[in-house]
Structure 1
Amino acid sequence: MVKLSIVIPAYNEEDRIVRTLEKTVDYLSAQDYSSEVVVVSDGSKDNTVAVARGYSKEGGPEIRVLEYFPNRGKGCAVQYGMLRAKGERVLFMDADYAVPIEEIVKPMAVLDKGFDVAIASRAMTGAVVKETQNLPRAISAKVYKIIQRLVLGISHPDTQCGFKMFTQKAARDLFSRQKLHSVIFDPEILWLARQRGYKVGEFPVVWSHVEDSRIVYDSLAKSLFVFQELFRIRKVHGSEKN
């Protein structure tokens, strides 16, 4: 069986996906365990799929490129890939390479200790944030954290960092229950993990803010949508049982 799967959700990433694949594949090629990379195109309208399928490295991990139409949201792309990953451990990471692949040793160590889920945190002691977000996004993030704690009881200071690893069992169980496809899928999965009794560990991460985000909330309506989705989590899982 494949030891590690890395799922990369992608929407119109033809200009960035090669660098991310190069860094990721180079690293994995040097490891002594089997691995695969799963790129999921979320209804991309550019050449993301062709570019990703055209990338390969002799002796490197298998690269699988999946796609569907139309565009459904980052949460759907992650879910699609996580449920199709073959690895004993499955990590999803962002296509913009905000977190360097070398950081993967940290969630691997967390799972080695018996945790089912390992999530990156930019708020923990030891985290390195090389480039910060702009002020409006930073303020919005603080408000979001407060509401998230009050509404869902999630105490993790950073639930949105796109670098999370799961055991295959936890990934299959949690992502098969996921119902939201927006960027709020992260707290949904973590809420489900708590409801289902999974052990969640955190680790500090090196992270850089990357401009030209494919997920932009540049209006009041879009920002309010995020909070509306947050409030929906308990409602859509009203009958969820341990």
Structure 2
Amino acid sequence: MDLSIVIPAYNEGKKISGDIFAADKFLKENNFEGEIIIVDDGSIDDTYDVSINCENKTFFNLNVIRLNKNQGKGNAVKEGILNSKGKLVLYADAGETVGFENSLLGIKLINDGKFKIANGSRKMKGSKIIKEQDFDRKLISKIFGFAAKYLLKIPKDLTDTQCGFKLYDGKVAKQLFSKLETTGFLFELEIILLAIKEGYNIVEFPVIWKCDRDSRISVSKSSKKVIDEFIFLYKKFIS
């Protein structure tokens, strides 16, 4: 199988069918042998039912995984990747914030053999932002980026660690995600740190991105967990 597309979802009942059909169309138009994996992270809306109802309407295999309890985006992505079968795995945020066609450059970069991980970036030459974040999220993003670079020693040539659009060699993805311990929004930083520790090269590619203003991310509710995960990662990799 060429490509597994993993989409974590929490209370995305109004949008998830759009993600599924967009992923299905992308796989078909590019002649990929693939699968779509939706991981319902303990949603309390109809995300699971809407996803299941799409099963007979897609050309490619649709695997819907339902987690009984909301455990965090990192855990949802981990579950999807560990259940994937593709030679390559693409993890993409729900809400079509990045069109799937953006992954073609990342796929080429990995298939060329030099890289095992290709991260989408909103901050490099060739990137384009159609719909901006609001001021609060922009500020938090800058603080987050500063902390990642200077506290966790994330390489400065990685311009965007938090863009929810990343490609992995399938075997490498399972190796790294099987070791993942952070379940929240800092999971991408842990995967980068694990990859560096294992000696894998990471490349970025530009994407066209639009902010999902209807995002389920609550900055105020997530702040304590983010701080706790920063401390955990610092102790695990730096101190």
Give SS of 2:85's match: coil
Scaled by the length of structure 2, what TM-score is found? 0.94
Instruction: State the match for 1:206 in structure 2.
Output: 208
Runs of 4+ in 1 over 6 A off after TM superposition: none
* Identical positions, percent: 35
How far apart, CA to CA, are the structure 1 residues paired with 2:63 and 2:225?
Answer: 32
Q: Deviations over 1:17-47 (max 9, x none)?
A: 0111111111212222200000001011111
How far apart, CA to CA, are the structure 1 residues paired with 2:236 and 2:42?
Answer: 25
Instruction: State the match for 2:195 in structure 1.
Output: 193
Contact 2:81 2:177 in 1 (8 A): yes
How many residues in Structure 1 have an aligned counterpart in Structure 2? 236
Contact 2:6 2:77 in 1 (8 A): yes
Instruction: State the match for 2:49 in structure 1.
Output: 50
Compute the displacement of 1:222 (Å): 3.7
Letter in 2 for 1:128: K
Q: What value does the CA root-mean-square deviation take over the aligned residues?
A: 1.7
Instruction: State the match for 2:163 in structure 1.
Output: 161
Give SS of 2:178's match: helix
Letter in 2 for 1:117: I
Instruction: State the match for 1:73 in structure 2.
Output: 72
How far apart, CA to CA, are the structure 1 residues paired with 2:56 and 2:104?
Answer: 22
Letter in 2 for 1:206: I
How far apart, CA to CA, are the structure 2 residues paired with 1:167 and 1:227?
Answer: 30
How far apart, CA to CA, are the structure 2 residues paired with 1:82 and 1:95?
Answer: 15
* Match for residue 179 of structure 2 among 145, 170, 177: 177
How far apart, CA to CA, are the structure 1 residues paired with 2:69 and 2:132?
Answer: 32
Letter in 2 for 1:233: L
Compute the displacement of 1:113 (Å): 2.6
Letter in 1 for 2:52: R
Scaled by the length of structure 1, what TM-score is found? 0.92
Instruction: State the match for 1:117 in structure 2.
Output: 117
Structure 2 segments unaligned to the other structure (5+ residues): none
Compute the displacement of 1:59 (Å): 7.0
Contact 1:14 1:48 in 2 (8 A): yes
Contact 2:24 2:58 in 1 (8 A): no
Contact 2:184 2:225 in 1 (8 A): no
Q: Deviations over 1:47-86 (max 9, x none)?
A: 1111111114667110000111111001100000011100
